[in-house]
Structures are given as structure tokens and as C-alpha cells.
Structure 1
Amino acid sequence: MIEVRDLQVRYGERLVADVPELDVREGECVAIVGESGSGKSTTLLSLLGLTEGAHVSGNIRVCGVEVLQAPERRLREIRGARVALVMQSPQAALSPTTRLGTLMRRALKLHGLGGDRVMVEAVEAVMLDPGILRRYPHEISGGQAQRFAIALAIALGAEVILADEPTSALDVTVQAEVVGVLRRLREERGLALLLVSHDLALVSTIADRVLVMKDGAVVESGPAAEVLAAPSHPYTRELLEALP
């Protein structure tokens, strides 16, 4: 679903992300971990051609599309419909004067889709009451906003979800709900998930493989169980030692 080789993202002379290899298969979860400023989110955004002002080189293939060679029109076709981006604070991207149902209906229409039944099934898939579609963004909690963003991806038929710190602003109970939804969608629908997080405890519960980034470079990668149980790089050990 995602195949990256020799990715480099530069702003001017500064190299902010250097990823030699990154693959995500159908039904798999790969996590990118590291401290703030390590290049995690930049790597994620580069997969959809959203690193405005940056020079991006290498090979990026997402759902069969060569991202760096594709025209903007082609990228707009896969954004949302095949690859969905779930940001850290989805409420900031929701119009405060528009009901959630109207927002979802507009997104579906942009991709030639529609139907209230699709919307209802999508919100129910993330354990939300369909009545939430009549609410405004300020009337829902952070956890509900995260699940609504995932429901939108489901309604659009996304095959890949790129999740950037999807639980960082949530309390522990709501974090568990969101992670449970993501895990179930992987198992039931075969969704591929690329998760960006600094929370190694969260990563250990859902990721199959892990990439550890520091100062824009990948310093360690491998199966999650091996990397988190017996890290080989000093920086990975520092991250683990910082866990409470």
C-alpha cells in the first residue's frame, strides 16, 4: 500500500527527513516514533505531496500512484478517497458553523460518492451514535472528533490511514477507545495504517513494525516487539527509559 525508497525532504539546505526505506502492507500498522522535530510528520505529509515549499526527492508509491511524478489532479483523486489523513486536532479542520453530517456529505460529493446510509454505517463503525451527524464541531469531545475523522475515511472508502498523533490530546480511557477502533478496522477491513507518535506505550499495543527517527534520520527499524523489547540504538533506549 505504501512503498518509499530513499526519501529526502529539504527546506533550503536543511535536510529535515531522510528515510531510506518504508513499506506498509495491507492490514499492517507501521509506527514512526521519535521526539518533536525528528521528521515524523514531515515524512507523513510527503506521502500525499503536502510538504509545501519543500524539495522532496526519492521514490514514493502510495496505492499504486507515484506521488512525486503524479499531477496535482491525480493526487486530489487519491487524497481522502484512497488515503486518509487523520491529524492530531481534527476539530481545528472542521468548520464551526457547519453540522458534521453536512461536512461529511460535502466530502463524499467531492469524490462522487453519497448516500445517508453510507454516512450512518461509517459513524457506527467507529462506535458513534448516528445522531452526532446533526451536531456542530463544538458540541463533540476530542475523542469523538478523532473518531469522526476516522469515520470520514471509512465513508470515503480509504484503503490507507495516515494518523499523526491521533491520541496525544486525549485522556487514557478515550485513547484506548480510538486505538481499539483502529485495531478493529485493520482486522475487519484490511486497512493499512501508518501511525506517527511519540507514545511508545501506545505503539506497543498496535504496531507491527516501528521506525525510530532522530534529527530527521531513521536510526532504528524492525518488528515492534524486537525494537521495543531489545533496542539496539542508544536513542531508542533513551525513549524507552523516558516512559513512566
Structure 2
Amino acid sequence: MSLVDIADLTIRFVEKAALSGLSLSIDAGDRFGIIGESGSGKSLTALAIAGLLPDNAEVSGSISFDGAPLPADEKVMARLRGQKIGMVFQEPMTALNPLMRVGDQIAEAIALAHAAKQSTVGSLLSEVGLEGRHAERFPHQLSGGQRQRVMIAMALASAPDLMIADEPTSALDVITQRIVLDLIRDICERRQMTLIFISHDMRAVAALCDKVAVMRAGTLIEVGPVATVLADPQHAYTQKLVAATRMVPRQGEPHIAGKALLSVERVTRAFAQGGFWRARRQALLAVDDVSLTISSGECLALVGPSGCGKTTMARMIVGLDMASSGVMQLEDTRYRGTDLPSSRRADISLVFQDPFGSFDPRLTVAQSLGEPLRLVPGVTPMDRQLRIAEAIESVGLDRAMLVRYPHEFSGGQRQRLAIARALVTRPKLVVLDEPVSALDVSVRGDVLDLLARLQSQFGLTYLIISHDLDMVAAMADRVLVMEAGRIVEEGAPAALFAAPQHRLTKALIAARLPNIGA
């Protein structure tokens, strides 16, 4: 029996069609995936089903839920949404109220549900695998996976017939991603609940869903059983997406370690816990006695689950945080973090995880790319213009784009701009913090190809911070595995992934989602 029927749905914004003639039927009990690149209309379709489209949207066509058209009256629609449709949003840290304990937020969702369907905060936390003590915590005190579980608990408060999950695993490490996917599957089966799972991660869709729709630029490209559409795609666009999921491990001769560019010697970073109103607790060791070496021209990857200390280590290396003990040495310069001399800061660049958030929206691209040049002494206005033009063209973009603002670019273009900004000082070491985690699968491949070309062209040394083992296998010469602030295993990707020795490395590899069709 059909639970959701969409017939010839078109959504326009200022006379531009964002969704064109979409027709879909989702049966009760389906786990239905919707995939496509950014701007394909995936999230817009979910918002339309939930009655959450912005006021300036012009809508034609129809959507029926459980045999009846969606109500036009917002109060009636809000009751339907609160009782029959649950939403799990992409970014739980943004969706949750930072000023409320998560238990109170779940209780609020229960209070808004129909009385006959009420659950308790404790039972919902237990269902999503969290202990009751987590109810007393605020969102910032939970990990990414725990926050996502809280969002799922809130979505389940009304015992909905349909749960819509919009990119619920895109920012999670591989172990947490697998746990959340398994949790969603178990809940759907136990409650006999229908799921609409929106993602650009085709492996996640293949692991969770039984049916899938492929969208591109607001139109439906292909729809059918997952086993049919992804294993034997008929449309050229679907074939391209499937091919882009299969990353090829790095080929050729391994990097021969030469002179050390950067050495990290027994570095520790401790964070005090507690404060004025709370008793001091034992310091949290985010990085615990870490030593590593990066040789010139090498691509070193630092992998591990969220919270293991990867980004904290990167922040100290680039001079944005200070080590509690230990020392780092960049060639002949010794430093502990923020004391990195200004004369050496241009030698290390950082590409942030979120390319949109790392740009000032008020500055043009030329202004943003020119900012790091303040670290380089003796740069004349003419040199500045030449370096900016050289940087943007090196990443495959036109210098005519320099007058634009960040919001005028796609996600892939913004990541290219972030890389261009990192190159403008002509650094020796580039630190890349999750450089492709927020990108579509096809754009991800383009960016990785770009990074490989730039490394060869400019002789760059890379430190990649990531939880994406497939990307690491395609890029890295050597891998360090980090857990609870310590390096627990290291080696070449092929050897390490083929015969892992440490428990965490084995868990990371076991949690990898299989290739499409594997």
C-alpha cells in the first residue's frame, strides 16, 4: 500500500524551477533512498513531503500521505507532521537547541506528540542506544554520533509512520556511520516504519535501503530496487555516480623517505575540565605523547574515529593551538604551536574541513586569497596580483572569478578556492582536514585528482586528516592510526589495510561500507 504519492511536483523560486515534474510512489514499510549531487532536489523533496517549504516557493502538482492530500492549513499540517512524520536533519548540532539539555528537548517532542503515542525520555534514549544519564547533557557535551542518536529519538517521539533522514551520516566517522545505519535499519524493522533516506553517499544507500531514486538538477533520472539501479544502472548519470564511488588505491612506487620536513616529539595537549561553578576534574588528554615525522614530498594520513585527537594535532602543527608539552620542529625551527615564528607561518597552510564556513562572506575571492600573503614579507602589489592569479588558475578556475563572492560558487569550486588560498604563500607543508567529506562523490574524485596533480607540480608535502579510508588508500604514502590521543599503528596503506594489527584499525576496516555491487 502506498504511503506517499508525489504526482508531477514542480517547485519554483523566482521563476527558476528547483524541482520539475517529480512523480514518486513510496509504499508503507519501504526503506527508500534518494540520491544525487548537491542541488539535485533531494532535500527539497523531503521538505515538500514534510510541509516545510519556504514561503517564497511556488508549488504545483500534488503530494498525498496515507491516501489523503497534504493539508494546506499549516496548523493541520503541523499536527500531521508531529504525529505521523518524523524528521532527522543533516546537522544535529544546528538542529538541537544549545541552551537545553537533550532530555528536555526529547520531552518537548513527546509533549507535542499525540497522547496515545507518548513514550518516555528514558525509553527513547534506550531505543537509540544511549544511557539515561545522557538526558542531563547539553548538545555540545555529546559526540557527533550521540547527537545524531538524540535526533533520531526526537523523531521517534510520536511513533511516526514515516521517518525522513536527511544526510544523517555525512559528517560521521566510518565506525559511527555504520552504527547509525544499523540503528536506523533496526528501528524501521522493529516499528515497521517507512523510511526516506536522503544522501549523496551511494554506499550508505546501498547498505540501508531496498529502493532508490536518482535525481539530477531537480529531475528524476532513475528509480527502482537498489539491487537493480546501483548494480546495473541504465542512465549515464547513474553510471557516472556508481563509477565515482570506486576509488583506486594509490599505484606506483612508494615514497622514499628523505629529509624530515616536520618532526613532532612527544607532544601532549591537555584540556582542563570543570570551571568556576564546577569542581575541577582530571585534565582531558586530547593528544597524548604523540611523536611523528613527515618527510619532504610525502603524503601522510592521520586517521581515526571522531574525538581521537586528529584535528587537535593538526591545529598545533599549523600554529593555531599550543602543546601542553613536547615540541615540533619545522626544518630548523622548533616551536610548540602558537609560538611558531611569523617568518615560518607561510611555510605551513591549512585547508579547513568546511570550505564555505572558512571564507568570509563579505570578501571577494581575490581578497580572501590575498589575506595569507600578509605572512610573506616583501610582497609588492604586483606580486600579490600575480600570486593570486597563479593560485586560482592552478586549481583549474578562471581568474575572472576573483571578483565573485563565496556564495556564488558550488561546493566543489569552494573547495578548490580553499586549496588555492592554501597555495598562495607557496608553502612547504599543506595540512588538509577532511578535504572531501562535505563533497559529492563525483566532485570528490575531481578534488583528489587536483591534489595529486598539485603535489607533483609544486613538490608539496601533505598531512591529510581523515576518517575516509578509501580516500586515504587513494592518496597516502603512509598512514598513522590514532585512538584516544595516541598513535596505535602505522604503515603503508596497502599493507596496513590488508593485515591490520591493532583492534581499532580492524574495527575501522570492518566498518567500511562495501563497494557498490560487491
Superposition TM-score, scaled by structure 1 size: 0.91
Q: Which moved more, 1:202-211 or 1:224-233?
A: 224-233
Match of 1:8 in 2: 268
1:58 aligns with 2:323: no
Please give the secondary structure, in 2, of the residue aligned with 1:38: coil
In the TM superposition, residue 19 of structure 1 has moved relative to its aligned partner by 4.7
Once the two structures are superposed, residues 54-75 of structure 1 have per-residue CA deviations (whole angstroms, 9 ceiling, x without a partner) of x521121124321128846x1x
In the TM superposition, residue 214 of structure 1 has moved relative to its aligned partner by 1.2
Q: Which moved more, 1:60-69 or 1:225-234?
A: 60-69
Counterparts of 1:80-119 in structure 2 under 5 Å?
81-112=346-377, 113=379, 114-119=383-388
Q: Which moved more, 1:56-65 or 1:131-140?
A: 56-65
Q: Which amino acid aligns with 2:353?
A: Q
Counterparts of 1:151-230 in structure 2 under 5 Å?
151-230=420-499
C-alpha contact (below 8 Å) 1:63/1:82 kept by paired residues: no
Please give the secondary structure, in 1, of the residue aligned with 2:343: helix
Q: Which amino acid aligns with 1:210?
A: V
1:68 aligns with 2:336: yes
Given the alignment, which residue of 290, 298, 302 partners 1:28?
298
Quick one: distance in 2 between partners of 1:200 and 1:185? 21
Q: Which amino acid aligns with 1:15?
A: L
Please give the secondary structure, in 1, of the residue aligned with 2:421: helix
In the TM superposition, residue 213 of structure 1 has moved relative to its aligned partner by 0.8
Q: Which moved more, 1:175-184 or 1:19-28?
A: 19-28
Quick one: distance in 1 between partners of 2:371 and 2:290? 38
Q: Which moved more, 1:106-115 or 1:184-193?
A: 106-115
In the TM superposition, residue 127 of structure 1 has moved relative to its aligned partner by 1.1
C-alpha contact (below 8 Å) 2:314/2:431 kept by paired residues: yes
Unaligned segments of structure 2, at least 5 residues: 1-260, 273-282, 514-518
C-alpha contact (below 8 Å) 2:369/2:420 kept by paired residues: no
Given the alignment, which residue of 405, 410, 427 partners 1:141?
410
Q: Give the paired residue count.
A: 239
In the TM superposition, residue 109 of structure 1 has moved relative to its aligned partner by 4.1
Once the two structures are superposed, residues 16-66 of structure 1 have per-residue CA deviations (whole angstroms, 9 ceiling, x without a partner) of 1125321111111000001100110011111133226xx521121124321
Q: Which amino acid aligns with 1:43?
A: M
Task: Give the direction of change, closer, same or farther, for the CA distance of 1:64–1:180 in structure 2 (3 Å limit).
Answer: farther
C-alpha contact (below 8 Å) 2:318/2:337 kept by paired residues: no
In the TM superposition, residue 233 of structure 1 has moved relative to its aligned partner by 0.9
Q: Which amino acid aligns with 2:400?
A: G
Unaligned segments of structure 1, at least 5 residues: none
Task: Give the direction of change, closer, same or farther, for the CA distance of 1:239–1:98 in structure 2 (3 Å limit).
Answer: same
Once the two structures are superposed, residues 79-119 of structure 1 have per-residue CA deviations (whole angstroms, 9 ceiling, x without a partner) of 2x110011101321212121101222343245232332222
Quick one: distance in 2 between partners of 1:165 and 1:41? 9
Match of 1:39 in 2: 309
C-alpha contact (below 8 Å) 2:267/2:290 kept by paired residues: yes
Quick one: distance in 1 between partners of 2:314 and 2:343? 18
Task: Give the direction of change, closer, same or farther, for the CA distance of 1:31–1:71 in structure 2 (3 Å limit).
Answer: closer
C-alpha contact (below 8 Å) 2:297/2:459 kept by paired residues: yes
C-alpha contact (below 8 Å) 1:9/1:17 kept by paired residues: yes
C-alpha contact (below 8 Å) 2:311/2:433 kept by paired residues: yes
Q: Which amino acid aligns with 2:502?
A: H
Once the two structures are superposed, residues 199-229 of structure 1 have per-residue CA deviations (whole angstroms, 9 ceiling, x without a partner) of 0000000000001111111111112221112
Quick one: distance in 1 between partners of 2:390 and 2:473? 29
C-alpha contact (below 8 Å) 1:27/1:189 kept by paired residues: no
Quick one: distance in 1 between partners of 2:375 and 2:315? 21
Match of 2:86 in 1: none
Quick one: distance in 1 between partners of 2:265 and 2:424? 30
Quick one: distance in 2 between partners of 1:132 and 1:216? 41
Quick one: distance in 2 between partners of 1:198 and 1:225? 16
Quick one: distance in 2 between partners of 1:186 and 1:123? 15
C-alpha contact (below 8 Å) 1:34/1:198 kept by paired residues: yes
Quick one: distance in 2 between partners of 1:223 and 1:56? 30
Q: Which has the higher contact order (CA 8 A, sep 6+)?
A: 1
Identity %: 38
In the TM superposition, residue 77 of structure 1 has moved relative to its aligned partner by 3.1
C-alpha contact (below 8 Å) 1:46/1:56 kept by paired residues: no
Superposition TM-score, scaled by structure 2 size: 0.44
Once the two structures are superposed, residues 173-218 of structure 1 have per-residue CA deviations (whole angstroms, 9 ceiling, x without a partner) of 1111111111112222111100000000000000000011111111
Please give the secondary structure, in 2, of the residue aligned with 1:30: strand
Q: Which amino acid aligns with 2:329?
A: R
